[in-house]
Structure 1
């Protein structure tokens, strides 16, 4: 178990009689986070970022179909999350500028129009087809390309069903030859975050890292388990009204033993000599996600500081992280960021690490955008050849891996979050500079 005074900090007021501590003020999640900014941010993203995404992807018009129960994964990004009957969302550029036009079932059109997300909402009467009406409109335009959500590379651009495609093809007739995949539109749009979104990620990242340091202060070697650490972080999430950054069973991933990859925290007892890894992320406003790791070392009997080899591993992995940040410039490919820290890994004597240096993070832990990997991988993700742009956000590691005496492997993966600016990348929060030391 963890040290009791700090472990039982909850939403209740707690006071340690033995130490006469001041009670902690209970957190009010609604006050702490305030009103959900997503509706305003979504509208801004559509009107400010989507027109350029269409141009960059060389697409004139993007068509998305939304419906109840089996909705398109992009639905809540475009205002289609409440669709019941089939609704068609069109986004297009023409000689007069950018436009958003929705063909919505009449029973939902009024409410959608009230949200003031789209330029025009056309009410489709019962017994008629939104797809046919949208197709009739498309035929009046001189679009050279019409993007639909079919993709083998981007799941966020692969929401169109086979039957929906058949209906579109029938309705469009000869215009069907203009259909293309929306994967580049979705990629260009979702990979960029607005400054307001970056500010939210900064606030969430601060808590993500702070709670990890808090729980390290409570570890009792020989008693505390990896699962105890996980329970504390889950408790903190509940207090602050946030949810898991990825699958709840594996968030946080706490590991004081040999590498387990993406995994759950076990009942392994934390012992002297252990290097502890916490890989942890939270989701705020049910929208934006963090992904940060913090590392600690448990002193052996007679040690007052970490051994030289442990400090070498730590400094090497930290140096790799800093090298990746320095390489993360607008115009650079993701694979080049990976290569920048792999050079240091080789010089430092690290064993091979199969993981990519980093990945986009934002709406999910592994978001849409350039993959920061591929320079030494057995297979290269196509996204590693993508170019990094201003406004992209990443979670990325500095690695050092070594063999343990029991034959296992241990990896330090100093993971931080950063945003790309016009002049380079900057950390969202202060990075971990010192290895956390846990005494007996």
Structure 2
């Protein structure tokens, strides 16, 4: 943390303790831009050389045009660049250990303070010829390009741009062209120490928004509908000058009036159910702040008259979901593939008679991030391709899953305990970034629900 810049230190110092319930302070847009650019500078200076050497790529070329931005290139633009300009070409050249990294823009101007512009159209009108000249001068062994059959994130090079590059590139240099897929994936999934420090606060903001929405401030049982709460979340996020990277969902599970109502055995979503006392509410919500995303699912119980806590059987259902989280995170270790972690988790859950479904994923620059998939809701036998990627340290994951629980008290209705929280893989194992839900949120009485 020694390299934390002053504004970031000020940002972190403005946050209340972990158990305070108010929304933490959020930076104005101008100050966010300073933080975002400093984070990117650190990544380009320190992280990028490590990743390029890990994958043996000594030159990485990223090409995009305005309105058709490469997903990776977009993460490398300054905060005031909201997209590519005309044709944007970035060239990163690793000169070798101790020799430094060149960060060039094949453009008529610099890209902020991050990349030096290296194209003068008055001297060479053809942008492609200038790019080829820069490549020839550096004689790279491997030139990484962003094309990938597995990840949309790493497949951002348009065919027309690829064809133009190959057209101008001498035949001998074409042999150096390789897919930059593993490099792009690691760039997107690896979080720096500074980003992880921020992620805790960003996750806390998301948790506090959920706690506000699942409270008597928003929900009046018998009047408020699930769609009312969904749009309250959208408005609240917008009012905080944040973004929702997907439209939230709020759904209800409740006791059936009689047996045999199998078509209503799971949460009904989407819909506009009126929220009633005795309901088990579920939300799925994600925010974007400082270029990082959250993806959280939590549960709340609407108290019946005279109740001061949720029924024991619902508390036990949540505990079953927590146990499934424990099984999954204990199997997430660096060097394992996502499919291995999935198989081991489902096998252990079966031994413990937990009816489990696992669909966890990396998270960071993108909500559904690049990196090893650990199941998908419709692929519980393993995910071909992306599930074969190995887990790496300093990757944040959305620990997303559900456990099916049968409730005799609800006429043997089967419910899903749907949970999702951010966690990071550290050398010591998985760590929840801002805790996880271990108690149901209560409406109307709100309680602290996040524990380490």
TM > 0.5 fold call: yes
CA–CA separation in structure 1 for the residues paired with 2:441 and 2:347: 26
* Corresponding residue number in structure 1 for 2:251: 255
Q: CA 1:53–1:260 in structure 2 vs 1: closer, same or farther (change >3 Å)?
A: farther
* Corresponding residue number in structure 1 for 2:100: 97
Gapped runs of 5+ residues in structure 1? 1-23
TM (norm. structure 2) is: 0.79
Shift of residue 206, structure 1, vs aligned partner: 0.8
Instruction: After superposition, give the CA deviation of every residue in 1:246-290 in whole Å (9 maximum; x if it has no partner).
Output: 23xx22x111145469x65x31012344321111111113x2111
CA–CA separation in structure 2 for the residues paired with 1:143 and 1:26: 49
Q: CA 1:77–1:231 in structure 2 vs 1: closer, same or farther (change >3 Å)?
A: closer
Instruction: After superposition, give the CA deviation of every residue in 1:3-22 in whole Å (9 maximum; x if it has no partner).
Output: xxxxxxxxxxxxxxxxxxxx
Q: CA 1:242–1:374 in structure 2 vs 1: closer, same or farther (change >3 Å)?
A: closer
Instruction: After superposition, give the CA deviation of every residue in 1:273-318 in whole Å (9 maximum; x if it has no partner).
Output: 4321111111113x21111121123356776654454333211111
1:367 maps to which of 356, 366, 369: 369
1:172 maps to which of 169, 173, 177: 169
Q: Give the number of aligned pairs.
A: 401
Shift of residue 240, structure 1, vs aligned partner: 1.9
For the residue of structure 2 that corresponds to 1:91, the secondary structure is strand
1:298 maps to which of 302, 323, 333: 302
Q: CA 1:276–1:186 in structure 2 vs 1: closer, same or farther (change >3 Å)?
A: same
Matched, 1:86 2:110: no
CA–CA separation in structure 1 for the residues paired with 2:30 and 2:432: 22
* Corresponding residue number in structure 2 for 1:310: 314
Q: Contact between 1:63 and 1:148, CA under 8 Å: does it hold in 2?
A: yes
Q: Contact between 2:373 and 2:383, CA under 8 Å: does it hold in 1?
A: no
* Corresponding residue number in structure 2 for 1:430: 435
Q: Residues 37-186 of structure 1 correspond to what in structure 2 (within 5 A)?
A: 37-79=35-77, 81=81, 83-95=84-96, 96-104=99-107, 106=108, 109=109, 111-112=110-111, 115-118=112-115, 120-125=116-121, 128-174=125-171, 175-186=173-184
Instruction: After superposition, give the CA deviation of every residue in 1:379-428 in whole Å (9 maximum; x if it has no partner).
Output: 51422222222211111035211468799863112211112222222111
1:346 maps to which of 350, 358, 361: 350
Q: Contact between 1:345 and 1:399, CA under 8 Å: does it hold in 2?
A: no
For the residue of structure 2 that corresponds to 1:140, the secondary structure is helix
Gapped runs of 5+ residues in structure 2? 1-20, 254-264, 446-452
Q: CA 1:123–1:32 in structure 2 vs 1: closer, same or farther (change >3 Å)?
A: closer
* Corresponding residue number in structure 2 for 1:417: 422
CA–CA separation in structure 2 for the residues paired with 1:62 and 1:85: 20
Q: CA 1:116–1:306 in structure 2 vs 1: closer, same or farther (change >3 Å)?
A: closer
**Range moving further from structure 2, 304-313 or 266-275:** 304-313
For the residue of structure 2 that corresponds to 1:418, the secondary structure is strand
* Corresponding residue number in structure 2 for 1:231: 231
For the residue of structure 1 that corresponds to 2:211, the secondary structure is helix
Q: CA 1:389–1:27 in structure 2 vs 1: closer, same or farther (change >3 Å)?
A: closer
Instruction: After superposition, give the CA deviation of every residue in 1:183-208 in whole Å (9 maximum; x if it has no partner).
Output: 11101111101122122221121121
